[in-house]
A and B are shown apart, each in its own frame.
Chain A
Amino acid sequence: MSLGRIDYVILSVYFAFVLGIGALMRRRVHTSEDFLTSHRSVPLWITSLAFIAANLGAQEVVGMCASGAKYGLMTAHFYWVGAVPAMLFVGVFMMPFYYGSRARSVPEYLKLRFDEKTRALNAATFAVMTVFSSGISMYALGKLFELVLGWSFTASVLLSAAIVLVYTFLGGLTSAIYNEVLQFFLIVLGFAPLAILAVNKAGGWTGLSSRLPAVMTQTWRHLGDASQNPMGVEVFGMVAGLGFVLSFGYWCTDFLVVQRAMAADSMSAARRTPLIAAFPKMIMPFIVIVPGVAAMALSQMGLGYALPAKPGGGPDYDLALTTLMAQFYPSGILGVGITALMASFMSGMAGNVTAFNTVFTYDLYQSYVHRNAPDRHYLWVGRFATVGGVGLSIATAYLASLFNNIMDLLQLVFSFVNAPLFATFLLGMFWKRTTGHGAFTGLLAGTAAAAATHGLTVAEGKGGWIGVVHTFPSTMAQNFWMAIFAWSVCFTVTILLSLASRPKPEEELRGLVYGCTDIPGDHSEPWYRRPGPLALIVGVALAILNAIFW
């Protein structure tokens, strides 16, 4: 694939706009809260789109298209089961505590609700995870552009990182959020034509379905038995593992996304942020997954289109998106598509960097290094943390290019830490008897349970480093069950330890726990501005989508 002059012009115009937005946002930054939390001033429609754009990194876009080609439309479960229900839950039930507690970050909420050690554990693991996640994403983008466009790995990594650094350094969280909205529209308008063209070429949805096995175009019918679908997952693993533990663990507790809602200009807007975001989230599978499904149909039509083979044999699904772009996009819209890929990377990276600098400044630096400095000091620490976060991300990208196995190991360790987290929040927000000792010990026990599950089971040659007591049909099934065990152990241990230790007095739990908090009523609002009716509409739309593609 090669780009024409107009493609580079479009890419340059995009860079100019994101930098321009950063420069304009700089005028709004006067305090550390302006820089790190947007001073809770961002309008609802912007926080809503940023809420999903921060999650829409390059790996998500490329990876979901690849999964569409490999597993078919079942991949939509990552949206319809693995995202939207959790988004409804965080908006309706959890946001009153995040926003109402006046916490500036998720780890700070844990400090207010539990204690310092629980905050420290969450803040430290989260800060390291965001840097590595950003670096690994950067590595993936650099390798992709090197392979597809022949660009230098170093040039791709440094150019994109430099632009993200400039606009986040200048305008902080507001600049990142505003740019995420531009990036969201670019991703939608840049990739939607590809889905339309690919499906149309495959004969529409009917033609596409007739060329592929039924399991590739249906979502639920083949989940009765793990052996009946390419994911190797059965319905309980899907619903409990992905739909509950992993999904709620990410969308309800990960500061990267929760931070966008916490930047909203009112409690009502913060609660509606994930609910409004759920509408575009529901349709994203048609933009990022369906092209991958169509790619498999097109490869059987004798059109000269086929997925490239991997060096070890078998199709390279990761190239589904870019090979489709090469076949369907002429110069011009190709530039928009490549710019959309770059935008998806930038929105993911900026999300990680802005979450990192907030947690570093407030939860690590202000708490453990320098407590009572003037606000201007923390503003500069936030800016230096931005530079440090980008620098560490670049270093991680190069580390990944040298030691790919170490990156796999780190991602695995992080998944151990993440898996039990939702149990801690669920008990912390909805059971006032939960204690700090219980939460901390439960988190450690859940992490150990995740590691033990991985060590005692094997899937596709992975795991089993303690011994093999069970073999999963796929690593996806192994991950889902690892999360289920980790969550269950964390939940149980937290309850047992909480019952054996002294709880906080109720007056210290006001604004933090259900039953000790007056949640502002919304009965004076029109129905379309109330979380309950909005969640109901999303739920009905979700049920209809699942029924159509059952």
Chain B
Amino acid sequence: MNDLRIPIGAFFLIAGALLVAMPSARAPLTQAPVNLYAGLVMLVFGGVMVWLARRRS
């Protein structure tokens, strides 16, 4: 493995996709779609990591 950003990016892309797939889940003290927001942030973060790694290679 040449670039650690690839596995880090891949992990957050998978985790983000899993969260985005469950947007309707709610917790007792908040009605916000926490999974959706957190999932989108993780998808963006994962995407940026993979993009940075590919750009370098």
Shortest C-beta distance, B8 to chain A (Å), equals 5
Shortest C-beta distance, A95 to chain B (Å), equals 23
Please determine whether A193 and B38 come into contact, CB atoms closer than 8 angstroms: yes
The stretch from A19-27, A376-384, A424-432 touching chain B is: A19-27
A9 in contact (CB, < 8 A) = yes
Chain A residues whose CB sits within 8 angstroms of the CB of B28 once the complex forms: 304, 326-327
- Inter-chain CA distance A332–B28, complex, in Å, is 14
Chain B residues whose CB sits within 8 angstroms of the CB of A326 once the complex forms: 27-28
Q: Which of A185, A304, A327, A328 contacts B45 (CB 8 A)?
A: A185
Please determine whether A17 and B7 come into contact, CB atoms closer than 8 angstroms: yes
B53 in contact (CB, < 8 A) = no
Q: From residue 1 to 17 of chain B, which have CB atoms closer than 8 A to chain A? A: 1, 4, 7-8, 10-12, 14-15
Q: Which of B8, B29, B35 contacts A182 (CB 8 A)?
A: B8
Smallest CB gap from B33: residue in A:
A330
Please determine whether B19 and A182 come into contact, CB atoms closer than 8 angstroms: no
Please determine whether B1 and A24 come into contact, CB atoms closer than 8 angstroms: yes
A73 in contact (CB, < 8 A) = no
Please determine whether B30 and A333 come into contact, CB atoms closer than 8 angstroms: no
Please determine whether B34 and A330 come into contact, CB atoms closer than 8 angstroms: yes
Chain A residues whose CB sits within 8 angstroms of the CB of B45 once the complex forms: 185, 189
Cβ contacts A180-197/B at 8 Å (1 or 0 each): 011001100100010001
Chain A residues bordering chain B, tally (CB within 8 A): 34
Smallest CB gap from B10: residue in A:
A17
Central interface residue in B10, B15, B28, by most chain A CB within 10 Å: B15
Query: Secondary structure at chain A's binding surface: helix, strand, loop or mixed?
Result: helix
Please determine whether A6 and B22 come into contact, CB atoms closer than 8 angstroms: yes
A14 in contact (CB, < 8 A) = yes
Shortest C-beta distance, A14 to chain B (Å), equals 7
- Inter-chain CA distance A327–B27, complex, in Å, is 6
- Inter-chain CA distance A450–B22, complex, in Å, is 54
Please determine whether A182 and B11 come into contact, CB atoms closer than 8 angstroms: yes
A220 in contact (CB, < 8 A) = no
Cβ contacts A362-386/B at 8 Å (1 or 0 each): 0000000000000000000000000
Q: Which of A24, A304, A328 contacts B27 (CB 8 A)?
A: A328
Q: Which of A9, A189, A330, A334 contacts B41 (CB 8 A)?
A: A189
Central interface residue in B14, B26, B38, by most chain A CB within 10 Å: B38
Please determine whether B41 and A329 come into contact, CB atoms closer than 8 angstroms: no
Please determine whether B4 and A332 come into contact, CB atoms closer than 8 angstroms: no
Cβ contacts A404-443/B at 8 Å (1 or 0 each): 0000000000000000000000000000000000000000
Please determine whether B15 and A336 come into contact, CB atoms closer than 8 angstroms: yes
Shortest C-beta distance, A302 to chain B (Å), equals 12
Please determine whether B38 and A333 come into contact, CB atoms closer than 8 angstroms: yes
Q: Which of A20, A189, A201, A334 contacts B29 (CB 8 A)?
A: A201
Shortest C-beta distance, B36 to chain A (Å), equals 9
| Contacts A24-B1, A328-B27, A331-B25 given; does A189 touch B42 at CB 8 Å | yes
Cβ contacts A1-31/B at 8 Å (1 or 0 each): 0000010011001100100110011000000
- Inter-chain CA distance A328–B42, complex, in Å, is 18
- Inter-chain CA distance A25–B4, complex, in Å, is 11
- Inter-chain CA distance A334–B39, complex, in Å, is 12
Please determine whether B7 and A197 come into contact, CB atoms closer than 8 angstroms: no
Cβ contacts A55-73/B at 8 Å (1 or 0 each): 0000000000000000000
Chain A residues whose CB sits within 8 angstroms of the CB of B15 once the complex forms: 10, 13, 336
- Inter-chain CA distance A21–B35, complex, in Å, is 27
A305 in contact (CB, < 8 A) = yes
Please determine whether A330 and B25 come into contact, CB atoms closer than 8 angstroms: yes
Cβ contacts A310-339/B at 8 Å (1 or 0 each): 000000000000000011111111101000
Please determine whether B22 and A193 come into contact, CB atoms closer than 8 angstroms: no
Please determine whether B34 and A329 come into contact, CB atoms closer than 8 angstroms: yes
Smallest CB gap from A197: residue in B:
B30
Shortest C-beta distance, A107 to chain B (Å), equals 29
Please determine whether A328 and B7 come into contact, CB atoms closer than 8 angstroms: no
- Inter-chain CA distance A186–B35, complex, in Å, is 15
- Inter-chain CA distance A80–B20, complex, in Å, is 36
Shortest C-beta distance, A28 to chain B (Å), equals 9
Please determine whether B30 and A182 come into contact, CB atoms closer than 8 angstroms: no
Chain B residues whose CB sits within 8 angstroms of the CB of A97 once the complex forms: none
Please determine whether B11 and A330 come into contact, CB atoms closer than 8 angstroms: no
Shortest C-beta distance, B22 to chain A (Å), equals 5
A170 in contact (CB, < 8 A) = no
Smallest CB gap from B28: residue in A:
A327
Chain A residues whose CB sits within 8 angstroms of the CB of B14 once the complex forms: 13
List residues of chain B with CB under 8 Å of any chain A CB: 1, 4, 7-8, 10-12, 14-15, 18-19, 22, 25-30, 32, 34-35, 37-39, 41-42, 45
**8 pairs from A and B in contact (CB 8 Å cutoff):** A9-B18, A197-B29, A197-B34, A201-B30, A328-B34, A332-B19, A332-B34, A336-B42
